[in-house]
Amino acid sequence: MHWERYIKDFVSYLKIEKGLAENSILAYQRDVSLLADYFSSEKSKPEQVRYEQLKTFVAHLYDLGLSARSQARIISGIKQFFRYLILERYIQTDPSELLEQPKLGRKLPEVLEIEEIDALLAAIDLSSPEGPRNHAMLETLYSCGLRVSELIGLRFSDLYFDEGFIRVIGKGNKERLVPVSDRVIEEVNSYQAESRMNLAIKKGQEHFVFLNRRGAALSRVMIFTIIQQLAQKIGLDKQISPHTFRHSFATHLIEGGANLRAVQEMLGHESITTTEIYTHLDQRFLRKAILSHHPRNQSK
């Protein structure tokens, strides 16, 4: 088979067997297609590729001026592709097994203080038609640590308020149960009984909890815009997005002494190493507190 057929089968595998989201599948497809374009010029088929050739390809990525993060993502996609070829027994040995990724500096995400979150929520005009919705929405985003896609996709069938949980459909259609606070329950119920009842809800949109003024599901851009406007309104000097609320949720839990595994479950992280970044954030705040209060660091 040629590269096109291998890539087509690989995409089917990611979609059907792995259950990945469409954006992730497209990213893998782009990465492997880049590899295919490179080796097509050498007239090498996938089963003929060797480790030394892959090292040359990685050097080629560097010559293209790609960032270390972009190179790492592409290499990760290539490794996934060759693991698939091994799984399907198209090849006997994995030429990408020893391929090293460029070292990446760990960038700590922006985090909001609890007082800043309270200020953002307080800046919402509850007398406006969208006010109660925005307040309930951002409270849910922060209190449950949701991704923005999980928030806009939240349905009434996902609400188990009597049990104190919501069901979240995360990446790869994986389900998880997240505890929900009494405040969130109260605000969502209030929004549903008042503001939402006045909307002309479009057919097929009835199941979504949060709707726009036209009675349809909200978009990611709309959530981002709402948060940006509130940040500007209170003069917040931080670059924030919907994901900042998720980072803040995790950081505040770790600071409060929550178990790392429990935080991993609530965030829906497949690997504990992804969650461990919040222990680094916690250490940053711990260092700041020590430097502020230790007698050796007090100004005379």
143-155 tens-digit pLDDT:
998 989 999 999 9
252-265 tens-digit pLDDT:
887 777 777 877 88
Would you state the pLDDT for residue 236?
A: 94
Would you state the pLDDT for residue 227?
A: 95
Active site annotation includes 28: no
Q: What tokens does 235 get? A: 């003069």
* 0.85 exceeded by pTM: no
CA distance linking residue 54 with residue 127, whole number of Å: 60
Active site annotation includes 246: yes
Write the DSSP assignment of 229-294 as a string of letters: HHHHHTT--S---HHHHHHHHHHHHHHTT--HHHHHHHHT-SSHHHHTHHHHHHHHHHHHHHHHH-
Q: What tokens does 252 get? A: 């505040």
Q: What are phi and psi of 168, to 5 degrees?
A: -120, 130
Structural domains of the chain sorted by starting position, each given as residue range(s) with its CATH number in brackets? 3-87 (1.10.150.130), 114-291 (1.10.443.10)
45, 171, 176, 202: the active-site residue: 171
Active site annotation includes 247: no
Would you state the pLDDT for residue 291?
A: 54
79, 133, 147, 247: the active-site residue: 147
Give every residue of the chain whose pLDDT is below 70, as ranges: 1, 41-42, 103-109, 272-300
SS3 state of residue 176 = strand
Would you state the pLDDT for residue 283?
A: 55
Closest CA to 48 of 56, 39, 35, 37: 39
Would you state the pLDDT for residue 300?
A: 44
Would you state the pLDDT for residue 290?
A: 46
Would you state the pLDDT for residue 116?
A: 95
133, 246, 247, 252: the active-site residue: 246
